[in-house]
A and B are shown apart, each in its own frame.
Chain A
Amino acid sequence: MTVAGPGAAAVAAGWLRRALLVAVALAFGGLYYRLFAAPALGGFVPPQAIPRAAPSTAPLYRPQLLPNSAERSVHSATAAEISDGRLRAFWYGGSREGAADVAIYTSVYSPVEGTWSPEHAVVTRESAQRHLQRYLRKLGNPVVGRDRDGRLWLFFVSVTIGGWGGSAINLMVSEDEGETWSVPRRLIASPFFNISTLVRGAPFLFTDGTIGLPVYHEMVGKFGELLRLDAGGHAIRKTRLSWGRTSLQPVIVPRSETEAVGFMRYAGDPPKRVLMVRTADGGATWTPPVKTGLPNPDAAVGSVLLANGPLLLALNHAQENRESLSLASSTDFGKTWRIAHEFEGESSSPQPLMREFSYPWIMQDGAGDVHLLYTWGRTRIKHVHFNPAWLADRR
């Protein structure tokens, strides 16, 4: 029998150190390989790159309320165009905002029939927590987009503890226009237990196939960021749109491969205005946020650049409340604005103003028509379908 002495221990320690050094070489070889093998990042896909039919010359303006069969409290609508020119919308609804029974609902709009299908839930708190293998207390904002391969991506907010400041983002993918969905998975975007990242702005495509997702933080600071997601739905880059404690809910509108403008809700001291940022290098860097001339009561805005048309911004055009909802139009990509229409408010509604009209989502479909969805008194989601010919009459 041999007994290992101090000499044997020293030999073992020497081998351990050499093994550690080999492990370091392997680990950092892998890290550097990933760095140098990463594909070059692409620029924005501008709206002109999306094929669209010639729009109708007859003005179209069709407002209607989406179904809400169980009379839930509803909020935060989002939508994407699906096959045959239809629109699939999502929103969250439940007994009240933040309640445990809040689920993400969907409904489909047929522009031919001009009607919405009965709504049904696509995600509930229970189903999400079962698939995510995490306890969830409530669900929140959904946003939907489409990737380069035509799949729909549905992002939604969930909270485990605390208020909305404790949110995280989850995502699901559908390959059949939203009929069925993958199980949800978690998007990691923050080093603080991955909390305090929320979505509200529309996702968009980069030329390299990655997806841009505007997000914002609400814990301690309030600021906007832009995530770049790979095909697997992992955040692979992050760029700060603002910093500090006064800006949130960014929406980003590309104009070319390199140029885009972003708008944010302003949560700071008066005067309350919509914030704006710009990039000229494909989103790598952004200008500091500046206040536009557009008043806004610390409320979400929606924006879209029409193909061969103006930049549109749907907003609560007031500093005090969300009792009106307007459409601002800019022909110089956000330098100057005029109010093209008031969808809700004193000029459009004879009844006493006591409702909330908020969280607008605006988009252009393949036929060139524009769709606006927004929260209508928290009791319904309202949809306004109009076309460029109607908009031209507002000038």
Chain B
Amino acid sequence: MSAIVGLLGCGVLIVAVVATLLRLQRFPPSARITVMLAGAFAVFATFGDLSAAAYVRGVTGDLSATTLVLAGAACVARLTGRAVIESRELRALFFLVVAAAAFLYPFALGWTRFDSYALGYGSIEFVSVLLLVTLAAWRLRRNVVVLVVVVAALAYCIGAYESRNLWDYLIDPLAALYALVWLLADARRRSREVAAARAGTA
């Protein structure tokens, strides 16, 4: 099962990236569907021993729920021409992803004796903090955060990936990097808007 799930995730990511680069929403609806189907066929068709999805999986491994939800949302957005996830939802999700990455990756590199990645193998404290964050997100109506955690937790419970570490279901370096770039761009855009508003009122 993990191979199918892993390849499927990488395939969805490739299609989402290509659709975004092509700015597929500019095309007529029938062309969008045709390109999406052709892309889906291309990423899973094998060339020699491997498909394009398998080549990507060789580098990235299985993708986290965060990346899968974002890639899936990007595909739908390019197909329908409408954003699926609101900016305020993305802002909350990406803030949490960057915070989690800052907690996870430096320690995973052997910086100290403490290994935050080891918490993902079964820590009541880790799961409890995740539950509190998820309930807070639900209370604040940040539904995408809740959706990502639910997808990750359910996938973890049924062992959908090769990993048995909850971290691998929640985030991956691609999601962390994308979230960081998005937040920096968002902060820059918002600061410009504030500056423009001040200039307008002056």
* Max chain B C-beta neighbours (<10 A), residue from A16, A221, A225, A240: A240
List the B side residues contacting A20 at CB < 8 Å: 138, 143, 146-147, 150
Q: Of B32-40, B84-92, B113-121, which stretch is located at the interface?
A: B113-121
Which residues of chain A in 34-85 are interfacial with respect to chain B, using CB atoms and an 8 Å cutoff? 34-35, 38
A222 touches B110 (CB 8 A): yes
Which residues of chain B in 130-184 are interfacial with respect to chain A, using CB atoms and an 8 Å cutoff? 130-131, 134-135, 138, 141, 143, 146-147, 149-150, 153-154, 156-157, 159, 161-168, 171-173
A135 touches B118 (CB 8 A): no
* Max chain B C-beta neighbours (<10 A), residue from A135, A222, A225, A239: A135
* Chain A contact residue count (CB 8 A cutoff): 54
A24 touches B118 (CB 8 A): no
Is A350 part of the binding interface, using a Cβ–Cβ cutoff of 8 Å?
no
B149 touches A27 (CB 8 A): yes
Q: CA A31 – CA B158 in complex, angstroms?
A: 10
A31 touches B156 (CB 8 A): yes
Task: Please list the residues of chain A having a beta carbon within 8 angstroms of any beta carbon in chain B.
Answer: 16-17, 20-21, 23-24, 26-28, 30-35, 38, 126, 129-130, 133-136, 160-161, 185-188, 190-194, 217, 219-223, 225, 230, 234-240, 242-245, 288
B110 touches A236 (CB 8 A): no
List the A side residues contacting B166 at CB < 8 Å: 31
List the A side residues contacting B3 at CB < 8 Å: 133
Task: Count A/B pairs, Cβ under 8 Å.
Answer: 159
Task: Please list the residues of chain B having a beta carbon within 8 angstroms of any beta carbon in chain A.
Answer: 3, 6-7, 49-50, 54-55, 57-62, 104-105, 108-115, 117-118, 121-124, 127, 130-131, 134-135, 138, 141, 143, 146-147, 149-150, 153-154, 156-157, 159, 161-168, 171-173
* Max chain A C-beta neighbours (<10 A), residue from B114, B121, B127: B121
Some 10 contacts from A to B, beta carbons below 8 A apart, are A17-B138, A20-B147, A31-B153, A38-B122, A134-B58, A192-B105, A217-B109, A234-B164, A235-B164, A237-B122
B168 touches A32 (CB 8 A): no
B108 touches A192 (CB 8 A): yes
A243 touches B111 (CB 8 A): yes
B59 touches A240 (CB 8 A): no
A237 touches B57 (CB 8 A): no
List the A side residues contacting B141 at CB < 8 Å: 17
B131 touches A160 (CB 8 A): no
A191 touches B108 (CB 8 A): yes
A129 touches B58 (CB 8 A): yes
List the A side residues contacting B118 at CB < 8 Å: 237-240
* Minimum Cβ distance to chain A for residue B141 (Å): 8
A16 touches B143 (CB 8 A): yes
Complex: chain A residue closest to B55, CB-CB? A135
* Minimum Cβ distance to chain A for residue B181 (Å): 18
